[in-house]
Amino acid sequence: MIHASHLNLTLLDGQQSLTVLQDINLHIEKGEWVALTGANGSGKSSLVRTFNGLLVPSGGSLTAAGLDLRSPENRSAVKRSIQLVFQSPEAQTIGSTPEEDVAFGLENRGISREEMKARTLNALRRAGLGHKARAPVSELSGGERQRLAIACCLALEAEMIIFDEATSMLDPVSRKEIFAFSRELWRRGVTVLWVTQRMEELAAAERVAVMDFGRLVYDGDPRTLFYDSGLPAALRWEDSPVIGIGRKMRDSGWPSDRLPLTEQQLEEALCRYS
């Protein structure tokens, strides 16, 4: 789905050019669910924006959905099949109702009025917003607005959805709902790239990629990242109490493939032990 080799990105910051991405090698296959993390300013958003053609790489090669993103025509095509859901729910709505907003994305796509309407309502229903199709967007909650952004992706039949810290402005309940929805979409065949700083979301990922100062410094499973890579200490991540307890468990012989990453996993491990 995404194949980045020796990818570089340089942007202009006033008069100066700034190297934002350096020598990135990352391959995401169709059907994967991958988490991307890293400190503020490490280059996560810039990287995902290159993946859907919003930013143009300065060097290296990048293909997305089988298309070479060095060509401008390909970048427009990729913007349809690889969709981004951004952090701010307010920043991504155009229409005054959810129905209008989803339909707007389908305009100029050579789709008949009837099909547009059917696809819009179907996407809103799948995103749990069928009952709010004609409600004013201004009255939607943050979580509902993110669902609306996802409905837009579904209506466009996106092959891949990139969630760029899409739950960071939501309350815990909405955050869990949107996260669970991304997992459901993945089970139904959508490739997902989930940008996050949250431990419980990294723990749930099959694969985690870590950015630091524009470089990809880790690509692997979350347990190895937190227990064996030494990276969290090198990157000065705050140590989670669960990992601290997990290290003691390991020292006393706990199987390394069952070391806890989250409070829930720790609780389960302790219940089994007692």
Ligand X SMILES: Nc1ncnc2c1ncn2[C@@H]1O[C@H](COP(=O)(O)OP(=O)(O)OP(=O)(O)O)[C@@H](O)[C@H]1O
Provide the binding-site residues for ligand X, judged by CB under 6 A. 11, 13, 18, 20, 38, 40-46
Query: First-to-last CA distance in the chain?
Result: 45
| C-beta of 48 vs 127, nearer to ligand X | 48
CA 80 – CA 241 distance, rounded (Å): 42
| C-beta of 40 vs 274, nearer to ligand X | 40
CA 136 – CA 114 distance, rounded (Å): 23
| C-beta of 46 vs 240, nearer to ligand X | 46
| C-beta of 116 vs 166, nearer to ligand X | 166
CA 128 – CA 232 distance, rounded (Å): 37
Q: Which residue has the tokens 């992706």?
A: 153
Tell me the closest approach of the beta carbon of residue 43 to ligand X, in angstroms: 4
Beta strand pairing call for 59-64 and 2-13 = antiparallel
| C-beta of 174 vs 196, nearer to ligand X | 196
Tell me the closest approach of the beta carbon of residue 57 to ligand X, in angstroms: 13
Tell me the closest approach of the beta carbon of residue 87 to ligand X, in angstroms: 7
| C-beta of 45 vs 120, nearer to ligand X | 45
CA 151 – CA 271 distance, rounded (Å): 40
CA 231 – CA 251 distance, rounded (Å): 19
Tell me the closest approach of the beta carbon of residue 254 to ligand X, in angstroms: 33
Tell me the closest approach of the beta carbon of residue 234 to ligand X, in angstroms: 17
Instruction: Report the candidate in 94, 99, 133 with the shortest Cα–Cα distance to residue 116.
Output: 99
> Greatest CA separation found in the chain?
65
Amino acid at 205: A
| C-beta of 129 vs 166, nearer to ligand X | 166
At 272, list the tokens: 């089994």
Q: Please, are residues 87 and 168 in contact by the beta-carbon 8 Å criterion?
A: yes
Tell me the closest approach of the beta carbon of residue 137 to ligand X, in angstroms: 24
CA 121 – CA 127 distance, rounded (Å): 10
Tell me the closest approach of the beta carbon of residue 265 to ligand X, in angstroms: 26
